[in-house]
């Protein structure tokens, strides 16, 4: 497997086995190619372009799907031009292909070839079907464009081209293609808002839906969505009313959203071949790990609350997909109601709270979590389960409350420690919480999740 000057464009060496009868090759062997580093792009169609004469030239076409190209008979000169917006717009890669090579072409990269022998059969797998409704996602470049200056082995004036290919626009007239949009489910939560803000800040295309538009608890009422049009689906939606989930009504909602709804979402993504990024929680663990230890991604789940049980069930559904990321996180702080904003409000009102001092974890700031989720896609991190929190030493909720009071100019001594048992002694319907919520950190390199959570807390409160 060889990388190229065009990000995502990969050249694959294919073993060809021959004898006196001819030759044989495994043109597409998903398990071996995935192990070698080729994306599991989920092809849905196999096409063959037969070219009778040497010099037949086709392209340059960029389409809204990934493509895996190879040659069954003959040889071609292949040319690829990056027509996606970004630093590599206009980058060119050329490779001569016979049966012994294949090329993976990501969405938005222009594809062209010229046959070097008569009776050449050019084959390609794609992971979507042509759609007349999606014409804005196609782009074309003239084969003779002077900017990219492809050195065709057979001069174009002597080659066989279609009239349509002869009249495609020059590079100066080509609008760079946007990447496929991201679909965000749960836009109104702390994480959903952070994701929308980050996608807009980076000028990335997206569609964000709230519960009034896509309610995980009511799959039969979902809007018509062509899932395959999306780069990925990020599920930031959840029923997080931990205590309410212990009631008969709340239990129904928690399971409908966090388990049944997520299972339906996973099925839709799986059928469309679209990656699903699903956000889960430390509550899938029982929290009995001894102090000083942290939960690893492959530790067995053992939830003790209805909320944790429903989230664990959702994880299991997502993990069955070939292309998925399950991201467990803890103690999320963002725009909206959360522990930090509550403590800051109590400090301002002059209230001296009792806060539990026997539950330990790390804060995770929604903006940093959003950055980490996009990094999973940008850095092509292998599919699987991850633990995302901000960095730094673990702390108790009591310790966080003291940090909040100090950050807003209040005396932290006004906060008093209390045990969970004392806090819940006179209260009904309180769900059990993990005492140890410390997750090992498996975050992609170079993201804001590497910032210490207490330093980020002070930034969050002081602006």
Q: List active site positions.
A: 61, 124
Pair 449, 388: CB distance under 8 Å: yes
H-helix or E-strand spanning residue 313? helix 306-319
**Cα(91)–Cα(434) distance, integer angstroms:** 52
Q: Are 401 and 358 a contacting pair, CB within 8 Å? A: no
67 to each of 39, 46, 80, 348, 397, how far by Cα in Å? 11, 10, 12, 58, 50
Question: Comparing C-alpha atoms, which of 204, 241, 252, 151 is closest to residue 375?
Answer: 204
The DSSP call for residue 223 is P
> Phi and psi at residue 257, in whole multiples of 5°?
-85, -55
The burial class, CB within 10 Å (0-12 / 13-18 / 19+), for 414 is middle
Euclidean distance between CA atoms 66 and 59, whole angstroms: 16
Contact 329, 369 (CB under 8 A): yes
Peptide bond into 443 cis (omega under 30): no
Question: 141: which 2 tokens?
Answer: 């470049």
Burial classification of residue 52, based on how many CB atoms lie within 10 Å of its CB (0-12 exposed, 13-18 middle, 19 or more buried) = exposed
Residue with tokens 């930090």: 340
- H or E segment to which residue 79 belongs: strand 76-82
What are the tokens at 359? 């539950």
């Amino acid at each position: 497997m060889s990388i190229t000057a065009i990000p995502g464009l990969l050249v694959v060496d294919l073993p060809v086995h021959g004898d006196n009868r001819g030759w044989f090759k495994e043109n597409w062997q998903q398990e071996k190619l995935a192990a070698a580093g080729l994306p599991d792009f989920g092809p849905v169609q196999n096409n063959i372009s037969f070219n009778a004469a040497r010099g037949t030239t086709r392209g340059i076409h960029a389409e809204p799907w990934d493509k895996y190209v190879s040659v069954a008979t003959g040889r071609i000169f292949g040319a690829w031009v990056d027509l996606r917006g970004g630093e590599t717009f206009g980058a060119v890669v050329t490779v001569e292909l016979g049966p012994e090579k294949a090329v993976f072409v990501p969405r938005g990269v222009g594809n062209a070839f010229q046959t070097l022998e008569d009776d050449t059969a050019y084959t390609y797998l794609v992971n979507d079907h042509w759609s007349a409704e999606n014409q804005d996602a196609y782009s074309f470049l003239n084969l003779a464009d002077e900017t990219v200056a492809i050195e065709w082995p057979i001069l174009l004036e002597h080659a066989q081209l279609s009239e349509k290919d002869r009249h495609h626009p020059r590079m100066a007239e080509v609008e760079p293609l946007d990447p496929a949009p991201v679909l965000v489910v749960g836009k109104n939560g702390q994480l959903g808002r952070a994701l929308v803000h980050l996608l807009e800040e980076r000028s990335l295309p997206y569609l964000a839906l709230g519960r009034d538009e896509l309610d995980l608890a009511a799959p039969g009422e979902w809007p018509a969505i062509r899932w395959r049009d999306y780069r990925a689906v990020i599920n930031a939606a959840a029923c997080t009313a931990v205590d309410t989930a212990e009631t008969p009504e709340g239990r129904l909602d928690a399971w409908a959203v966090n388990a049944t709804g997520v299972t339906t979402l996973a099925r839709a993504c799986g059928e469309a071949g679209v990656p699903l990024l699903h956000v889960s929680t430390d509550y899938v663990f029982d929290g009995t790990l001894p102090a000083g230890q942290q939960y690893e991604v492959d530790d067995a789940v053992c939830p003790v609350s209805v909320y944790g049980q429903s989230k664990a069930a959702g994880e299991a559904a997502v993990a069955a997909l070939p292309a998925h990321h399950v991201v467990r996180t803890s103690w999320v702080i963002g725009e909206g109601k959360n522990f930090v904003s509550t403590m800051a409000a109590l400090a301002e009102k002059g209230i001296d709270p009792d806060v539990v001092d026997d539950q330990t974890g790390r804060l995770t700031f929604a903006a940093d979590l959003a950055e980490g989720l996009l990094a999973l896609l940008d850095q092509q991190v292998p599919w699987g389960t991850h633990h995302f929190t901000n960095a730094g030493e673990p702390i108790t909720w009591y310790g966080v409350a003291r940090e909040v009071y100090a950050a807003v100019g209040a005396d932290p001594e006004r906060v008093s420690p209390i045990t969970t048992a004392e806090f819940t002694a006179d209260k009904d319907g309180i769900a059990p919480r993990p005492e140890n919520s410390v997750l090992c950190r498996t975050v992609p390199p170079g993201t804001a999740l590497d910032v210490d959570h207490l330093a980020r807390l002070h930034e969050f409160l002081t602006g």
